[in-house]
Amino acid sequence: MSDNTPAPSAPEGEQARALADELLQVQFDIDPVWPAMLGIDTSRAGLGAITEEEEQRGADAVRDVLRRARELEPTEPEDRLTRDVVISLAQAHLDRVAAREVEYTVTDIFVAPAVGMLTTLPMLQISGPEHAESYLGRLRDVPRYLAGALERHRAGVAAGRVPVAHLVDAAVRHLDRHLSDPGNDPLARPAPPDGVDVGDFHAERERLLRDVVRPAIRQYRDGLVEHIAPHARPEDKPGLAWLPDGERIYRLLAGVHTTVDRDPAELHQVGLDLIDRLAGEYAEVGSRVFGTTDLGEIFHRLRTDPALRWSSAEELIEHANAAIRRAEQAAPQWFGRIPTQPWVVEEVPAAAAPGAPAAYYMAPSADGSRPGTYFANTYQVTERFKHTAEVTAFHEAIPGHHFQISLALSLDDIPLLRRVNGFTAYVEGWGLYTERLAQEMGLYSGDVALLGMLSMDSLRAGRLVVDTGLHAKGWSREQAIDYLRTNSPMPLVEIEAEVDRYIAYPGQALSYMVGRLEILRMRQAAERRLGDRFDIRAFHDVVLGSGAVPLGVLDTLVGEWVERQ
């Protein structure tokens, strides 16, 4: 681990920046694929920490940074902000280690070790010999990494911290799909540009995939079947509430993702109240679209109207592109700073699509070699709804994640730690905030698209209810699915995928609505204080102008901005 301890005699502002740099280097050591994806550093070998010994070694380094950060009292606001971000990121890392997530996280989405590896490695860039050798080294590390992951899963079984059976089965099916189609192996995707000499890279990569990587994936897959699946939890006990010390683990993870200390019972009630309030909005828009104010009828029409289904993957992708281009044109009226990083829309890779969410975003590389990518899920595309396409595009791309993350990457005057790290409640809270902001901006094409906005609001409010229901109240998978079917118009294929995601990724689903409600509260308070002097462009620049921060820190930043006006 990095040992860049700032000199005791250095000014505390310099110490804060030095600790931020040190923590980032520790994070890069723990996960060397991350700096490679960012286009910052490919020199760190392998796939990163996975065994308990490796994880604890990383935790010790993080704990040392945290101790020294808590001792600092910088006088300058920017240095205090850096210190606070260091403290929050370090504590969040330690909380996740304490939650022992890797032991029971076996699923077919990217939060699990194997699927995460299969998701991130194909996105790496090969621009020269150094990158080529680095990529080959990561392939050589796959047996060690997957063996370590299986070791952690088996330790979890021994301690009673077991995964959920149907998610283990889904992970196995995902790996089977991967292994059954070597001709379309995504790990063979990274390639150098034409004319770049990387020696025998292609031949060595194919040899490694054939003789090293796929056998390791198969061994891991067989280990899941033999050693993990027989002990896994049934669908009626999917939440952390059913694990030893599950209540404490859930509180830790909920705090990591929301950056606030909120009681699960309180968040559960907030979700219930939001669902009730949305009924009035559905009635208003539904009366214009369908000629009825009955919530059940509106949901039924949204679910069953064949005109609201996609005819092809190409149609879905083009609609997403058009919505994002529309938002890009309107952005200067609402933001003072406009990111320059490019964006693209792509389909979720076929092997991952059955268990993947409806859409997700991958950040651009810091060096500009890879654009920000909005992945749209075209699996069973004729069962997916048109009316949610625009709201999803605004959330994932512009003015949502692509806008926020790209602006953070462009902030050259702040420590790199603050440019590349994310706090889930801030990042996803911003994404959800922009769904309603898009309505203010006039971006939705009509009332049908507004029903899509309300549909996503139902889902995010429902997440507060369902995530806490699963992990704090002991709900079954069926209870969670039934709640969302009753209280949102989302299709069953997406509801089931969403619920499985909440089961596999405890606490993360809380971050969306918690973050949006906090950003809205800050905006409304600023509007009340400033009246006619309130400038929406300036407000958004403040919210996005310091990189991702904990919600409490964002509240301070907005408050200080208001005082300066």
pLDDT grade for 365, boundaries at 50, 70 and 90: confident
Could you read off the pLDDT of 475-525 as tens digits, one per residue?
Answer: 999 999 999 999 999 888 889 999 999 999 999 999 999 999 999 999 999
User: Of residues 53 and 3, which shows the higher confidence score?
Assistant: 53
Residue 276 maps to a domain: yes
**478 lies in a domain?**
yes
If you average pLDDT over every residue of the chain, what do you get? Answer: 93
The candidate with the shortest Cα–Cα distance to 294, out of 453, 489, 447, is 489
Q: Round to whole Å and give the CA distance between 457 and 275.
A: 8
Alpha carbon distance 494, 233 (integer Å): 22
The stretch 419-430 carries a mean pLDDT of 93
Instruction: Kindly state whether residue 192 falls inside one of the protein's structural domains.
Output: no
Q: Is residue 231 part of a domain?
A: no
In 3D, which of 388, 385, 377, 376 has the Cα closest to residue 309? 385
Q: Is residue 328 part of a domain?
A: yes
Q: How far is CA 227 from CA 60, 67, 141, 220, 222, in A?
A: 30, 39, 22, 10, 8
pLDDT band of residue 7 (cuts 50, 70, 90) is very low
Cβ-Cβ contacts under 8 Å for 85 (sequence gap 6 or more): 20, 417, 418, 421, 547, 549, 550, 553
pLDDT in tens, 264-312: 999 999 999 999 999 999 999 999 999 999 999 999 999 888 888 888 9
What pLDDT is attached to residue 3? 54
Distances (CA, A) of 516 to 74, 463, 519, 557: 30, 13, 5, 16
Tens digits of residue pLDDT in 206-216: 999 999 999 99
All residues at 6 or more sequence positions from 339 whose CB lies less than 8 Å from its CB, including other chains? 402, 403, 406, 407, 409, 410
- Residue 60 domain flag: no
Count structural domains, the chain.
Answer: 1
- Which helix (H) or strand (E) segment holds residue 360: the answer is strand 359-362
pLDDT in tens, 211-267: 999 999 999 999 999 999 999 999 999 999 999 999 999 999 999 999 999 999 999
Residue 233 lies in a domain: no
Q: Which two tokens stand for residue 464?
A: 């507060």
Q: For residue 413, give its domain range.
A: 255-517
**Is residue 2's pLDDT more than 60?**
no
The dihedral formed by the CA atoms of 449, 453, 456 and 461, expressed in degrees to the nearest 10: -160
Q: Is residue 349, in this structure, part of any structural domain at all?
A: yes
Tell me the three state secondary structure of residue 385.
strand
Report the SS3 class of residue 100.
Answer: coil
